[in-house]
């Protein structure tokens, strides 16, 4: 299944989402992102969203354009952010600040060597953190990305991708 195939299941209410998917996946070369950044981010988001058809479509689009290590890093970002976004969102939202003084005690060894460039992994993690609504993680990832000279446009594009893929899976689910 391709993104074009996936769009067919979005229904009339998904018309804008179809256009946005076409725009995002039709402009990979002008997104400002490398293929590793673009497809790694898209895969991280698809794995996080958990829509098997969307995942298959994004994997098909990425096939032959990225190495296997990018797929592994995307899965790692989705998995680690599933944990971190819950924990750090709790710390951020809790009015009782005693919890933020306690050690997290969560293993995150994969972040030290994610299998791709650190900035690329941070981009995947940022998009997933935005999808999961963790402000504390968003701030942290944006800070690291800016220190690695990742442009605001690339950062914005990763967030637009999160928004559109989330809308796509919603449109498909309610079709």
List the one residue out of 83, 91, 79, 95 whose CA is nearest residue 47. Answer: 79
Pairwise CA distance, residues 20 & 122, whole Å: 24
Q: Which one is catalytic: 21, 45, 134, 162? A: 134
Q: How far is CA 56 from CA 59, 147, 152, in A?
A: 5, 33, 29
Let me know if 17 is a catalytic residue.
Answer: no
DSSP states of 94-162: -S-GGGGGS------GGGT--SS-HHHHHHHHHHHHHHHT-HHHHHHHHHHHHHTT--HHHHHHHHHHH
Q: Which is catalytic among the residues 77, 131, 137, 155?
A: 137
Active site residue 159: no
Active site (catalytic) residues: 134, 137
């Amino acid at each position: 299944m391709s993104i074009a195939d996936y769009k067919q299941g979005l229904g009339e209410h998904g018309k804008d989402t179809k256009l946005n998917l076409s725009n995002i996946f039709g402009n990979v070369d002008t997104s400002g992102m490398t293929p590793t950044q673009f497809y790694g981010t898209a895969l991280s988001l698809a794995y996080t969203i958990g829509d098997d058809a969307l995942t298959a479509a994004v994997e098909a689009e990425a096939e032959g354009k990225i190495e296997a290590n990018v797929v592994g890093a995307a899965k790692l970002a989705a998995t680690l952010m599933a944990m971190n976004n819950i924990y750090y969102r709790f710390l951020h939202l809790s009015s009782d600040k005693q919890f933020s003084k306690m050690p997290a005690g969560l293993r995150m060894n994969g972040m030290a060597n994610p299998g791709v460039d650190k900035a690329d992994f941070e981009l995947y993690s940022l998009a997933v953190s935005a999808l999961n609504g963790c402000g504390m993680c968003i701030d942290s990832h944006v800070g690291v990305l800016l220190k690695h000279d990742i442009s605001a446009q690339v950062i914005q594009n990763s967030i637009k991708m999160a928004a559109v893929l989330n809308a796509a899976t919603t449109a498909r689910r309610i079709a």
